[in-house]
Amino acid sequence: MTDKVIITCAVTGAIHTPTMSDHLPITPDEIAEAAIGAAEAGAAILHLHARDPQTGKPDQSVEAFAPFLGRIKQSTDAVVNITTGGSPYMTVDERTKPAAKWSPEVASLNMGSMNFGFYPLLAKYRTFKHEWEREHLEGSRDLVFRNSFKDIEYVLETCYDNGTRFEFECYDISHLYNLAHFADRGLVKPPFFVQSVFGLLGGIGTHHEDIMHMKRTADRLFGKDFRWSVLGAGKDQFRIATQAVSMGGNIRVGLEDSIWISRGKLAESNAQQVTKARSIIEGMGLEIASPAEAREMLSLKGGDAVNF
C-alpha cells in the first residue's frame, strides 16, 4: 500500500466561528451530513468536534456528540476520530470525556503545550453573529493551550484500555520529541499516526523547509514506525498538502483547518476540499486509501469495536 494516501477530513473544529462562513457545520445534522459527504468524496478518516447547535460555540460534552456519531456510523464505513483537543479553553478532563465514553477507533492527542493565537482573525470581521465569537478570538492573545506531560498521560491512560489509537497532533518539532519520550516509556505503541500541523500562530510556520524539517525529524526519531500526515492552516492548506504528498505523506483537510477552497473563495463544503485533495493525490499517480486500507495501515481495532 505504498501508493495509498489517507485523507482525513476535520469537519468543523473549534477555531472558526459561525460569522466566518455560512458553510461551517454547526448543528448535529449539519455535522453528520458534512462528514458523510466527505467520506463519499474520499475521506477515509473523519475528525470530529461538536458545537452548540444554537450558537455554534464548541461543546465537548458527551451528549453533544451523540446525535451525529450513530448516524455517521450507519451511513459510512469511514474511521471516526473524536477530538481530545476540544477547545484550548477547556480542561483536559472536559476534552477527554467524549473519547472515553464513545471509544472511537482514533482520538486526536495534542503533544505539547503552546501559545495558541487566533486573535489576528479579529481584523477581518467588524461584527459577529454571537457575542462569544469576539471573546473567543480576543482571549487567545493570552492563551496557553495546556498539554503537559501529565495531561498527555491522562488521555493515554483514559483511552488506551478501549483500544483507541491516536492521531498525534504535533504543532512543533518539540512535540515529536515528546511523542518519542512516551514511546521510549512504552506508553504508546507503533505505528504512530503523526499529524504535523503547520501555520497556527504559536506553532511551526508554513515554509517548505519547515515541512521538510518536520519529516526529517520524524524519520530520525521513529524510522519505519510511523505514518506521517500533515495539515496546513488557512490559505496554505493545499500548498502544504501537495508538498507532503510528494514526500510520501498523508493529508488532512476540512473546514476545521481552513474555510477556503482557493484564494479568496470560501469552500462550500468539506466534500469540496476532499475532492480537491483527491485530485492532487491522483494527479501524482497515487491512490487514496479506503477506510479498510487506512485501518490496516494504522492497526486500528475496527468500526465494530466502538461504543456508538
Segment 127-145 shows an average pLDDT of: 98
Q: Which three cell numbers stand for residue 155?
A: 488521555
pLDDT tens column, 23-50: 999 999 999 999 999 999 999 999 999 9
Beta strands in the chain (DSSP E): 4-5, 7-10, 45-48, 79-82, 106-110, 114-115, 144-145, 165-170, 192-198, 226-232, 250-253, 260-262, 265-266, 287-288
Does residue 118 register a pLDDT over 80?
Answer: yes
Domain ranges (residues) in the chain: 4-298
Residue 135 to residue 139: CA distance in whole angstroms: 6
Chain-centroid distance, C-alpha 256: 8
Segment 195-208 shows an average pLDDT of: 98
- Please name which of 279, 277, 254 lies closest in space to residue 267, comparing C-alpha atoms: 254
- Please name which of 192, 39, 149, 164 lies closest in space to residue 107, comparing C-alpha atoms: 164
Segment 231-244 shows an average pLDDT of: 97
Does residue 60 register a pLDDT over 80?
Answer: yes
Segment 241-262 shows an average pLDDT of: 98
Average model confidence (pLDDT) across the chain: 97
Q: DSSP letter for 290, please.
A: P
Residue 201 to residue 175: CA distance in whole angstroms: 15
pLDDT level of residue 160 (50, 70, 90 thresholds): confident
Q: Which three cell numbers stand for residue 122?
A: 479579529
Q: Which three cell numbers stand for residue 2?
A: 505504498
C-alpha distances (whole Å) from 136 to each of 25, 53, 109, 243, 295 are 18, 17, 22, 32, 36
**Fold of the 4-298 domain:** TIM Barrel (3.20.20)
Segment 203-209 shows an average pLDDT of: 98
Residue 47 to residue 129: CA distance in whole angstroms: 26
- Please name which of 219, 146, 150, 135 lies closest in space to residue 182, comparing C-alpha atoms: 150
Q: What angle do CA 55, 60, 65 make, to 5 degrees?
A: 90
pLDDT for res 2: 63
Segment 106-127 shows an average pLDDT of: 97
